[in-house]
Amino acid sequence: MTVIRIGFALALAMIASACDGAGGAMMDSAALIEGTGVTATVSERADGRFDVDYVFAAPQTAMIFSRSTGDYRVGAWEVAGEGARLERLNGFDTLVFDAPASQVSLVAEPRFVNPEGDYSPFVDFSDGGLALFTGQFDLMPVADADAAAALEGRLDRWRGEQPVLGVRVRSDRRMVFEGAVREGAIEDVSLGGGSFVYLGDGEIVEGRSYIGVIDRGLPDWVLASIDRDMEAIFALYETRWQRPLDERAVLYFAFGGYDNPGFSNKGGVSGSVIMLDTSGEAMREESPRLRNYLNWFFAHEVAHQFQNASGARNGDTADSWIHEGGANTMANALVAGMTEEPGAYIDTAYAQAWTNCLPALQDGPLRGAGARGYFGAYYDCGSLVSLIAAAGAPDGDIYAIWQAMQSAALDMDEPVSADLFFAAMSGLGADADLVRPLRRIVIEGVVDPAGELRAAMAMTPLSPEFDEAGQLTGFGAQN
């Protein structure tokens, strides 16, 4: 692992530059990023706020912020100058112009909030740095204030052609973006997406497949192992996938202190970025359970980075069990190997998955369970299917199944699918009598899911064990 520390002289130079009020000086060069319909140039100011200078490809009369959850802009953002106003209109933060406008400037104060169902707009680090989510600047055109209010806060009611968003972030501080350390400015282009950019002087850690900022304000018991744990997670995946990541994953692990009771965790993934923001009184004392959870979170999300590295297209949302279940199975095995009692860890993980999975399968097949309100089934049932498939393929494991499935998808120019998953399983020596019931569970649905899963496990070396109530308690053999 490589550790980068900012030099003292460079830090002083950055502080001096910041005191000059960089925000105002940068406004003159704000321009539309090529290929975008909306560009926001976001410049860090010496007072901790940001100048946000928008340029539009065509004049606009009103624009809604597509990400308006939590109304964190109210009282924190203000329009600079005249001719426009920022209002909260029936669920949407909205820019309304007195006359058609091609640009507008705002001043934004960071608010460190956790909107439900969305990314945090800003995440603070105890070293004074912050991560900024570029997607928060996304704007979509509406006719006027009344049209914005008529949407009633529902983005699905908006009609029109969404403009491509470009975000240019400028700072006198060092930045981490797209797997590299940057200085001066970065540019991010997305359509309804976004990414996290770290700005600050915190310690940066690097490996062959990742770069990250680990908040050094985290509890000592976390810091004592986090660098080693992250390195171990990536090293094992590189070995099992037989390749490093071409595009390095970006890890941000922020700590919000001990003020709130219990344990609080907000995690998210955007492209190659993995963000974890954790806090709580429970972190004061060393906890193997919390350490395992944090490692599992990273291991699950890093598994997705490797899953997506082949270039094979993802399938329908209905087949999310392939990715989520596969990532769970990979992460479970990896983290189990980092514990003192790997067998007990695996037993507990799949016993919980069994309990959570059965209600979804009693309601229908695994494929499409999310549309019936059981999105968690893609993780729980998917992990059980992946575990059984890997154990029942004598010539491979879950990684071999994935590699064969993705290779076929690329050769056939098709997305990853259930058919390709089971074909890969068969190609690695799985018996047809095992593949058939798994296909029924996934695609058709079964009357007795517990019985079908139990029978499928019995055809593998897993040696499942159940209590008198039929609850999975563990495995006599660990694969």
Which CATH number goes with the domain that contains 133?
2.60.40
Across the range 300-304, mean pLDDT stands at: 94
With a cut of 50, say whether residue 88 has pLDDT above it. Answer: yes
pTM of the model: 0.83
* Rounded alpha-carbon distances, angstroms, from residue 1 to 136, 239, 243, 275: 33, 17, 17, 20
- Among 24-33, 374-383, 428-437, where is mean pLDDT lowest? 24-33
Query: Is the pLDDT at 19 greater than 90, yes or no?
Result: no
pLDDT at 15: 33
pLDDT-derived band at 6 (thresholds 50, 70, 90) equals very low
| Alpha carbon 82 to chain centroid, angstroms | 38
Q: Do 179 and 214 sit in the same domain of this protein?
A: no
CA angle in degrees (0–180, nearest 5) for 78-84-90: 75
13 and 162 part of one domain: yes
How many domains does one find in the chain? Answer: 3
Whether residue 234 sits in one domain with residue 344: no
Token pair listed for 153 = 């806060």
Clarify whether residues 276 and 325 are in a common domain. Answer: no
Helices 449-458 & 432-439 angle (0-180, nearest 10): 160
pLDDT tens-digit map of 356-412: 999 999 999 999 999 999 999 999 999 999 999 999 999 999 999 999 999 999 999
Q: Is the pLDDT of residue 13 over 70?
A: no
Would you state the pLDDT for residue 453?
Answer: 97
SS3 185: strand
SS3 for 173?
Answer: strand
> Is 473 in contact with 346 (CB distance < 8 Å)?
no
Residue 65 has pLDDT above 60, yes or no: yes
300 and 317: one domain? no
Residue 436 above 70 pLDDT? yes
Span of 13-17, 40-44, 48-52, 421-425 with lowest mean pLDDT:
13-17
Instruction: Give yes or no for residue 28 having a pLDDT over 80.
Output: no
Which of 169, 200, 231 finishes a domain?
Answer: 200
| 211 and 77 assigned to the same domain | no
Final residue before a domain boundary, out of 154, 182, 200: 200
Whether 353 contacts 328, CB under 8 Å: yes
Q: Do 42 and 185 share a domain, yes or no?
A: yes
The reported pLDDT for the residue numbered 10 is: 32
Which pLDDT belongs to residue 286?
95
Tell which of 159, 179, 200 closes a domain. 200
* Tokens (6 digits) for 342: 């790997």
Q: What is the DSSP letter of 312?
A: P
User: Does one domain contain both 101 and 143?
Assistant: yes
Q: Tell me what pLDDT residue 60 has.
A: 97
Which pLDDT belongs to residue 440?
Answer: 97
pLDDT of residue 479: 43
C-alpha distances (whole Å) from 318 to each of 9, 366, 423 are 54, 8, 18
* pLDDT of 287 strictly over 80: yes
Q: What is the DSSP string of 387-437?
A: HHHHHT-TT--HHHHHHHHHHHHHHHT----HHHHHHHHHHTT--HHHHHH
Task: Please indicate, yes or no, whether residues 26 and 168 belong to a single structural domain of this protein.
Answer: yes
Portion of the chain with pLDDT greater than 90, in percent:
81
Strands of 49-91 (E only): list them: 50-65, 77-79, 84-89
Same domain, 23 and 128: yes
- Same domain flag for 319 and 285: no
Residue range of the domain that includes 432: 312-475
Mean pLDDT of the chain: 91
Q: Are residues 464 and 320 in the same domain?
A: yes
Report pLDDT for 169: 97
Residues 174-205 have pLDDT tens digits of 999 988 899 999 999 999 999 999 999 888 88
Which pLDDT tens digit goes with each residue over 134-175?
A: 999 999 999 999 999 999 999 999 999 999 999 999 999 999
pLDDT of 306-365, one tens digit each?
Answer: 999 999 999 889 999 999 999 999 999 999 999 999 999 999 999 999 999 999 999 999
